[in-house]
Structures are given as C-alpha cells and as structure tokens.
Copies of this chain bind each other. A is one copy, B any other.
Amino acid sequence: MTAGVKAVKAPPKRRRRLDAEASRGGILDAAEARLVAVGPGGLRLQDIAEAAGVSHPTVLHHFGSREGLVRAVVERALHQINAELVEAITASRGDEERLQVMLARTSDALDGGHARIVLWLALAGHPVGGAGTGLSGVVDAAHALRLSRACEGAPRPTREDTARTVVLATLALVAGSVLGPTLLENAGLSGGPRATQGFRRWLARLLLGHLDAPCA
C-alpha cells in the first residue's frame, strides 16, 4: 500500500531469464520443499511457482504437466537420498565406533525432510525401494565385516540375521525421524533433541551388541 496516487500503471516489471537448466533446478528446489511438507499428493503448481519466483505456466513449460513435475522431483530426491546414504555409510570406515558414526551420519542425512519424503512416497504407493536404497549392498558389507570379526568357537552368524538387523536399523531411523520425538516424550522420556540423540546412541549400542556378540 505504499503506492501513491500517481502510480496509475505498474512499472513493466523487469523479467528475469535463466537458462532451462537453472530454472528447472530452482523449481525443483521449491517443489522438493513442498514435497517434504505436504507429500506428493499435496503439491500445487501455484504454490511451487510462487516459491520459485515464477508463474505457474512457466512450471508447466519446463515439466509438461503436474505429473511430470512430480516425477522429476521424486526422481531427483530419491537419487539424492541414495547418494547421501551411500556417502554416510561409506564415509564411516574408521574401525572405532563405526556403527555409532554411521547411524549418526545416516540420521543426519534422513533428518531435514528426506525421511519424510520416503514415508510420503511409501504411503502414496510410489515405488521407493527399487532404484532408491541399495540395502542389499549395505547388508553385504556389514555381513562381511561381521564374519571377519566372528569368534572362533561361536556359531557363524547368518546373512539373514545381518539383513534383519539392517532392516531394523532402517525402520528405526526413518520412522524415528518423523515420530521419534513424539514417541519418546510420550514414553516418559522428557523430550527435546537430547532424548533423540540419546535414543540413537542407545540403539547403536544395542545393534552393536547384537552384531558383535562377545566371544564366549
């Protein structure tokens, strides 16, 4: 409402023109933020366009249709999640407290929206396991390491057991990122990020105690 009486005609509004790549990137950034917040079914072209600083026909120009935009943002997000997870897992190769570090890194990668995206997509029926998370590779790596540490006399741990442990960790981290704080507070652990942090460390110790059973 700062316009004076004289402002009969709005200034022609300088138009910004980016190359297609950059424009698509900006739109995808805005779309991913909305995807985290409201899920794939709640995406609206106008919201995304406004957040990206363009008009909604521009979004359609770049992605063809709403469905095309959803496909593009989901695909990019899943690739990014996969890359982050691989990086989080492979980067923690130090021998000491390996699992602690790995869980912490994975949690950091999932927090901030990516766990929410995975759950949104799983609930909405989008295929999320196929190209997204290569759990099988993680299981193989973990199992090889586990075998190399196995005790002499004890029975060799099975790959099935390792796989189930990895699945449990994944479930706990993904779901914990969304409803962990609520559950912790509801269970009587006074809330806040400290409770979440403590829970994750406790989880790491539990899993480690299971994987690395003490020798006799």
Decide if B163 touches A189 in the complex (CB within 8 Å): yes
Q: Is A112 an interface residue (CB 8 A)?
A: no
Decide if B182 touches A129 in the complex (CB within 8 Å): yes
Interface size class of A (residues with CB under 8 A): 35 or more
Interface residues of A in 193-213 (CB under 8 A from B): 198-199, 202-203, 206, 209-210
Closest residue of chain B to A130, judged by CB? B186
Q: Closest approach, in angstroms, between the C-beta of A38 and any C-beta of chain B? A: 7
Q: Is A148 an interface residue (CB 8 A)?
A: no
Decide if A123 touches B129 in the complex (CB within 8 Å): no
For A39, the chain B residues whose CB sits under 8 A away are 39, 41, 123-124
For A166, the chain B residues whose CB sits under 8 A away are 187
Q: Is A179 an interface residue (CB 8 A)?
A: yes
Decide if B174 touches A179 in the complex (CB within 8 Å): yes
Contact with B along A19-41 (1 / 0, CB 8 A): 00000000000000000001101
**How long is the Cα–Cα vector from A164 to B42 in the complex, in angstroms?**
34
**How long is the Cα–Cα vector from A151 to B26 in the complex, in angstroms?**
60
For A203, the chain B residues whose CB sits under 8 A away are 164, 168
For A160, the chain B residues whose CB sits under 8 A away are 189, 198
Chain A positions within 8 Å of B, measured between CB atoms, are 38-39, 41-42, 116, 118-120, 122-124, 128-129, 133-136, 138-140, 159-161, 163-164, 166-168, 170-172, 174-176, 178-180, 182-189, 198-199, 202-203, 206, 209-210
Closest 3 CB pairs of A and B: A175-B175, A129-B182, A135-B187
Contact sample, A vs B, 13 pairs, CB 8 Å cutoff: A38-B124, A41-B41, A122-B178, A133-B186, A134-B186, A135-B186, A135-B188, A136-B186, A159-B188, A160-B198, A170-B183, A171-B171, A174-B179
